[in-house]
Structure 1
Amino acid sequence: MPINIEYRGPADLPEIIPVFPLPGALLLPRGQMPLNIFEPRYLAMVDDSLRDGHRLIGMIQPDVAHSPKNSDKPALFRVGCVGRITQLAESGDGRYILELTGVARFKVVEELEVLTAYRQCKVDFFAFVDDFTARMGEDEVDREALLSVLADFLKANNLKVDWEGVESAPNEALVNALAMMSPYGPAEKQAMLEAPDLKTRAEILIAVTEMDLAKKRTSGDPPLQ
């Protein structure tokens, strides 16, 4: 999806961003994520991001394994992805329907003590400078293996796909869209997020899917959800 502003590198992004902790949510550069915003603190977050003009929200997963029990402020994974609000609609019942377009991944430097109800972090984008270059490293992706495991997954789950659209998609768009839509858990999503390059992300997606299919074949269990 086109964005009205060009982000050429880390210096084009703010050092402090609002973050939206959401388990199982995976946003990747140039990927699109729909969001249904209804909690008051996140409605305020959207309003503030629009008012400030940057229109940016950092998507990040809670790190449940390292969070205090019964905490309303779980620990966060150290890597997330910032997205720009590229579509916004009001529902008429107090909700926002958003679409975020991924810009770049970030590392959390520190979470700030803030007065806002939503959380804010100081972040560093320099570790992921390649994210600012579209289609970086996509020639290294094993597209044939990716399409093969996709076909096996669809068959095992009685699903259909627009193969014409799949076959015409560039490798970056294909890998990132499949990773974001994949039904796997937070750990697998985080591994795909933190992959150093597109080739490695595709390999993780293939490996996780093959393990899921093997489990289903040998045990009769349903695929990972």
Structure 2
Amino acid sequence: MSSSLVLPEVSGVMLLPECTLFPHGGLPLHIFEPRYREMLADSLETTCFFCVARLEGEETDDPATCTSSIGTVGLVRASREMDDGSSNLLLHGVIRVRFNEWINDASYPKARISPLPAVFEPETQSEAAIEALKEAAESALGEFSTEIGDAFYSMTESIDDPAILADVMAQQFIQNPTERHDLLEMESVAERIAWLCSHLSK
């Protein structure tokens, strides 16, 4: 996470079924519900941040009973309001967060959040971890065109942090909603990398 970004202590939260946003990934959204229109307006007037949380089952009046405790806070990169009041936007994932307390003072879900930094240890194994991830990516890209592979390598060639590379690859390659969220909630970066390498090599 860039040191120039200061996360809010309290953030609006969009509850979405079967949806996981990884840090350093992008999520296009169409905002049309009145409550989320209000959330977006408040976000754009203040920090430009809001969170995405996975909705688990039917939504209830208490988000703590129907959402995962871990999600991702994102930064609104671009937003365009349509004639009908809805908006199309791109949300850029910044960092995993824990939802510590849900606050009922707005029409939309809000939570007190704390960041969950991703640190790969031991640092001496960072190069080996990056190499293993890139080999796994080669396996996954084998069935695709050269252009797709070139685009991926261009996007990732300057990444020297295995935690960041793992999240970028998870965003791009893992499609199963449950597997995506399991990866998001996996505390150990080394475990995430091992899971990705095993999964993609198959």
What TM-score results when the alignment is normalised by the length of structure 2? 0.76
Question: 1:120-199 maps to which residues of 2 (within 5 A)?
Answer: 120-125=110-115, 128=116, 130-131=117-118, 139=126, 142-156=129-143, 158=144, 160=146, 161-163=148-150, 164-166=153-155, 168-172=157-161, 173-199=164-190
CA contact (8 A) 2:72 2:93 kept: yes
Structure 2, gaps ≥5 residues long: none
Instruction: Give the distance between the partners of 1:190 and 1:78, measured in 2 at CA.
Output: 11
CA contact (8 A) 1:23 1:186 kept: no
Structure 1 segments, 4+ long, off by >6 Å, are none
Percent of counterpart pairs with the same letter? 25
Does 1:49 pair with 2:43? yes
For 2:14, the equivalent position in structure 1 comes to 20
CA contact (8 A) 1:141 1:199 kept: no
Structure 1, gaps ≥5 residues long: 65-70, 214-225
Instruction: Give the distance between the partners of 1:19 and 1:167, measured in 2 at CA.
Output: 29
Q: Report how far residue 170 of structure 1 moved.
A: 0.9
Instruction: Give the distance between the partners of 2:179 and 2:136, measured in 1 at CA.
Output: 16
Q: Report how far residue 83 of structure 1 moved.
A: 1.1
For 1:216, the equivalent position in structure 2 comes to none
Say which SS state the counterpart of residue 55 (structure 2) adopts.
coil
For 1:220, the equivalent position in structure 2 comes to none
Does 1:82 pair with 2:76? no
Q: Report how far residue 171 of structure 1 moved.
A: 4.2
Closer/same/farther in 2, CA of residues 24 and 202 from structure 1, 3 Å limit? farther
Closer/same/farther in 2, CA of residues 200 and 75 from structure 1, 3 Å limit? same
For 2:55, the equivalent position in structure 1 comes to 62
**Which of the two has greater strand per residue?**
2
CA contact (8 A) 2:139 2:200 kept: no
Q: Report how far residue 78 of structure 1 moved.
A: 0.7
Aligned length in residues: 190
Does 1:205 pair with 2:199? no
Say which SS state the counterpart of residue 121 (structure 1) adopts.
strand
